[in-house]
Amino acid sequence: MPPSTHRIRKFRFNRPQQYAAVLLGLLLAQCLWVAWHRTLSEDDYQYARCGREMWERPSPLAGYFTSCGNIHDGTLAYRAAGLPLTLQRILAGQAASTSTWEMRHEVSSIGVLMRIPFIFAALALGACLWWVTRRLYGNTGGYVALALYCFAPPVIAAATDPNNEIWAAFGLFAAVYTAIGVSHAMQGPRKKWRPRIVLLTVVLGFTAAAHVSAFALALALTVIFMAYLAEGKRAYLPTLLIVWVLGSMFILFASYAFHPDAFSYVFRSEAAKIGFSLEPAKTFFGSLTNAGIAISSAGALGLYLAMPRSRYFGNTAPLVVAALLLLMITTGIQTEMWLWSLPFLLAFVGGVFADVLESQYRRWFLWITGALLLAQAALCVAGLPILAR
């Protein structure tokens, strides 16, 4: 083998990465502005309080994992909200018994502090979206998808409100494309399989800790895509499925601090019940602040149907997943599965737009794309005061 194959791929921060960093920086600035101006709600205190209990001490209520009860909608958001406050207590050398309500008067910018993990999740999802779309569609597709993502009001709202939705969206998107990466790696040397298989196990585990429905969907999509792509290697799929399920369950069990009673509540609750409805899609596409995304999605779908060159796996896969998630709802608990569909939808838009911008209509469509991105950015910035309420 040539020497170049033994070199470790270096991270490059050239002009494409710099542009992507600027867009993610704009997303960060919007999230921090909303977090700074948004008052803490009772739900915020509940997430932080119960998250701190998971890190610092067990619940004083016998038979319950935390004072919030037996968590059935995912422990990850609670742990994420409580972790910065727990670390602040440790670094400041203060008593762990200090209540979250008391910390409101002692810690400056507590609202921003407890929302930092969720802002990080939004930035990580944006970086993941950029990495996937750039590899699939080139710089143009990556810029379009990331620009729409960074000026999506639902993303900013999820990043500035303690919840499991942004973590579930991140985990589901990462799991699907990691599974596709594993399928491609299985066509090469076995030494390249293991890191990706381990990575997918970790991603599925954290997705399960965010929301059990997201984990079930991620596992199902993983099996479907790998069965389609892993030609000649499908015999390994049952063994890999056992590894992923057992590994994910171990991570989920660890998120419940290895408490069997609390862990068993995941399987006794109705968090994984799924139904179908058009209402979430109507609400999302009917919002004025999402108009740029809605018009881009409709345009991309029309172009996809009209242009044969755009109908290939790289565009079809995110379209199918996005359409599926837009029609789904959880009937056992309240959730926002349409948010989980957003990165797949934007990946589809980026792919189709990249195909058109490589055609003979590039000059005209470049102006149309620029106008849509500017319109969505303006609508998003104008709606920030509403998000900060």
Decide if 354 contacts 140 (C-beta within 8 A): yes
- Report the b/e string of 277-314 with b at 16+ CB within 10 A: eeebbeebbeeebbebbebbbebbbebbeeeeebeeeb
Give the pLDDT score at 194.
Answer: 86
pTM, two decimals, is: 0.91
Give CA–CA dist 314/134, Å, rounded.
Answer: 12
Give CA–CA dist 81/45, Å, rounded.
Answer: 9
- Tokens (6 digits) for 194: 């293991």
Give the pLDDT score at 2.
Answer: 43
Decide if 114 contacts 84 (C-beta within 8 A): yes
Pinpoint the alpha helices (H) of 99-164.
100-106, 110-150, 153-159
pLDDT in tens, the chain (389 residues): 444 444 445 567 888 899 999 999 999 999 999 999 888 888 888 888 888 888 887 655 556 777 777 777 789 999 998 888 888 777 766 655 555 555 554 445 777 888 999 999 999 999 999 999 999 999 999 999 999 999 999 999 999 998 899 999 999 999 999 999 999 888 888 888 888 999 999 999 999 999 999 999 999 999 999 999 988 888 899 999 999 999 999 999 999 888 888 888 887 777 777 888 888 889 899 999 999 999 999 999 999 999 988 889 999 999 999 999 999 988 777 788 899 999 999 999 999 999 999 888 888 899 999 999 999 999 999 999 999 88
Give the pLDDT score at 274.
Answer: 84
Give CA separation, 59 vs 52, 54, 63, 70, 252, in Å.
10, 8, 9, 10, 19
Give CA–CA dist 23/189, Å, rounded.
Answer: 37
Give the pLDDT score at 316.
Answer: 96
Give CA–CA dist 326/346, Å, rounded.
Answer: 13
Please report the beta strands in 220-287, taking only residues with DSSP state E, as ranges in sequence order.
274-276
